């Protein structure tokens, strides 16, 4: 796995995750007529997608250089567990008081926590060491 | 006898005139519905309540002539967290489904210009208790602001849900217009 592939993997999966997040945000907010822009907006979704995907790419790069493909499966499981664990923060998150219907917030934010991992895993075969 | 009748008539007229003047002095203040805040704070929980409706007849020079009634909707409790909101409205907390109305009705108002105390009946969850509500009144001509702070013991109002603070501090900021 080269650094170039790692960067491309991070870039494309970030774009994919951000697009999914923005679309889901738009559909969810219009369906329930809610507005969580003060805590979850397009900039935040793009930033979180880039952060998550870059972090996963770095993990892939480091693990691959260290042990080859042997530990990639373990890393995938770790990423899935961390994505799942991160939703705890959503349920405990306190929104500003002026935001109405906070009970609808987890329905918006929880799926988004899986978008970076989902897009990263979807594109992983394309950026495997022996392809491209 | 005739002089006595005239004196009585003058006295009656004076009393009538004075009372009419007093009525004019008491202002019926209307709530600025988009500007008020009623917030509560306790250990590990804070939030706001909406749905405020008021009837405020207040005379800052003669506060004893004042009458304050306010109701709020328990279903509008917002802690900023969906799970906490659900807990706050639950049967062993506010029981908002059965007792949606939170009501305060003053029985007397006293104090000096600027700082006052309303003694009244606060009803939460169908339980009525007498409370003292100290408040300030900032008169800005056609507009004014009532600000008050008091605390309630949650168990007094049959709010027994585990995790509910024993004491909640209530903060009021109520802008009004004439």
Enter the ipTM: 0.73
Q: What is the DSSP string of chain A?
A: --HHHHHHHHHHHHHHHHHHHHHHHHHHHHHHT---TTTS-HHHHHHHHHHHHHHHHHHHHHHHHHHTTTTHHHHHHHHHHHHHHTHHHHHHPPPPTTS--GGGHHHHHHHHTTHHHHHHHHHTTTT-TT--
Domain count, chain B: 1
Q: What is the pLDDT of residue A127?
A: 85
Are residues B82 and A92, on separate chains, in Cβ contact within 8 Å?
Answer: no
> Confidence class of residue B11 from pLDDT cuts 50, 70 and 90?
low
Are residues A102 and B47, on separate chains, in Cβ contact within 8 Å?
Answer: no
Asked if A95 has any chain B CB less than 8 Å from its own CB, the reply is yes
CA distances from B122 to A23, A78, B68, B102, B177 (A): 47, 54, 12, 8, 24
Asked if B83 has any chain A CB less than 8 Å from its own CB, the reply is yes
Asked if A110 has any chain B CB less than 8 Å from its own CB, the reply is no
Could you report the per-residue pLDDT of A8-49, keeping only the tens digit for each? 999 999 999 999 999 999 999 999 999 999 999 999 999 999
CATH of the domain at B101: 2.40.128.110
Name which of A36, A93, A97 to mutate to probe chain B: the one with the most chain B Cβ atoms within 10 A of its Cβ.
A97
Chain B hits for A103, Cβ within 8 Å: 82-83, 85-86
Do β-strands B167-177 and B143-153 pair in parallel, antiparallel, or remain unpaired? antiparallel
Q: Of A77 and B27, which is predicted with more confidence? A: A77
Q: Of A111 and B62, which is predicted with more confidence? A: A111
Is the separation of the CB atoms in B132 and B117 below 8 Å? yes
Asked whether residue B9 is assigned to any structural domain, the reply reads no
Asked whether residue B55 is assigned to any structural domain, the reply reads yes
Residue with tokens 């168990």: B155
Q: Of B123 and A1, which is predicted with more confidence? A: B123
Asked whether residue B14 is assigned to any structural domain, the reply reads no
Is the per-residue pLDDT at A131 higher than 50? no
The residue of chain B nearest to residue A96, with distances taken between CA atoms, is B80
Q: What is the pLDDT of residue B24?
A: 47
Asked whether residue B51 is assigned to any structural domain, the reply reads yes
Range of the structural domain that residue B79 is part of = 27-177
Q: Record the pTM.
A: 0.76
Could you report the per-residue pLDDT of A36-91, keeping only the tens digit for each? 999 999 999 999 999 999 999 999 999 988 888 888 999 999 999 999 999 999 99
Residues whose CB falls within 8 Å of the CB of residue A121, separated by 6 or more in sequence, listed in order:
A76, A79
The residue of chain A nearest to residue B45, with distances taken between CA atoms, is A94
Asked if B123 has any chain A CB less than 8 Å from its own CB, the reply is no
Euclidean distance between CA atoms A108 and A47, whole angstroms: 17
Share of residues in chain B with pLDDT > 90 (%) = 70
Asked whether residue B5 is assigned to any structural domain, the reply reads no
Are residues B80 and A102, on separate chains, in Cβ contact within 8 Å?
Answer: yes
The count of CB pairs under 8 A between chains A and B is: 30
Are residues B78 and A91, on separate chains, in Cβ contact within 8 Å?
Answer: no
B170 by DSSP, 3-state: which?
Answer: strand
Chain A hits for B82, Cβ within 8 Å: 101-106
Domain map (residue ranges) of chain A: 3-123
Could you report the per-residue pLDDT of B145-162, keeping only the tens digit for each? 999 999 999 999 999 998
Asked if A124 has any chain B CB less than 8 Å from its own CB, the reply is no
Asked whether residue B21 is assigned to any structural domain, the reply reads no
Chain B hits for A97, Cβ within 8 Å: 39, 47-48, 78, 80
Are residues A95 and B39, on separate chains, in Cβ contact within 8 Å?
Answer: no
Are residues B81 and A102, on separate chains, in Cβ contact within 8 Å?
Answer: yes
Euclidean distance between CA atoms B121 and B115, whole angstroms: 20
Asked whether residue B101 is assigned to any structural domain, the reply reads yes
Is the per-residue pLDDT at B20 higher than 60? no
Mean pLDDT of B84-105: 94
């Amino acid at each position: 796995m080269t650094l170039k592939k790692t960067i491309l993997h991070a870039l494309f999966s970030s774009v994919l995750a951000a697009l999914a997040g923005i679309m889901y945000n738009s559909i969810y907010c219009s369906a329930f007529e809610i507005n969580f822009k003060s805590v979850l907006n397009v900039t935040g979704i793009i930033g979180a997608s880039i952060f998550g995907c870059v972090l996963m790419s770095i993990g892939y790069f480091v693990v691959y250089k260290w042990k080859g493909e042997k530990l990639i499966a373990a890393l995938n499981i770790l990423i899935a567990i961390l994505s799942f664990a991160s939703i705890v923060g959503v349920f405990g998150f306190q929104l500003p008081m002026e935001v109405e219907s906070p009970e609808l917030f987890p329905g918006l934010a929880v799926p988004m926590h899986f978008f970076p991992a989902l897009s990263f895993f979807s594109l992983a075969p394309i950026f495997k060491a022996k392809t491209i | 006898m005739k002089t006595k009748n005239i004196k009585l008539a003058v006295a009656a007229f004076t009393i009538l005139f004075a009372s009419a003047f007093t009525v004019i002095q008491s202002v019926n203040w209307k709530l600025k519905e988009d500007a008020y805040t009623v917030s509560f704070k306790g250990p590990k929980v804070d939030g706001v309540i909406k749905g405020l409706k008021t009837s405020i007849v207040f005379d800052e020079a003669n506060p004893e002539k004042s009458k304050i009634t306010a109701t709020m909707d328990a279903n509008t409790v917002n802690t900023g967290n969906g799970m906490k909101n659900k807990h706050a409205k639950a049967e062993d907390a506010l029981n908002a489904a059965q007792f949606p109305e939170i009501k305060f009705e003053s029985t007397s108002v006293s104090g000096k210009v600027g700082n006052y105390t309303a003694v009244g009946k606060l009803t939460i969850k169908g339980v009525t208790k007498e409370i003292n509500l100290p408040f300030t009144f900032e008169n800005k001509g056609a507009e004014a602001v009532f600000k008050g702070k008091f605390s309630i013991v949650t168990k007094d109002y049959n709010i027994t849900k585990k995790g509910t603070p024993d004491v909640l501090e209530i903060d009021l900021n109520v802008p009004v217009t004439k």
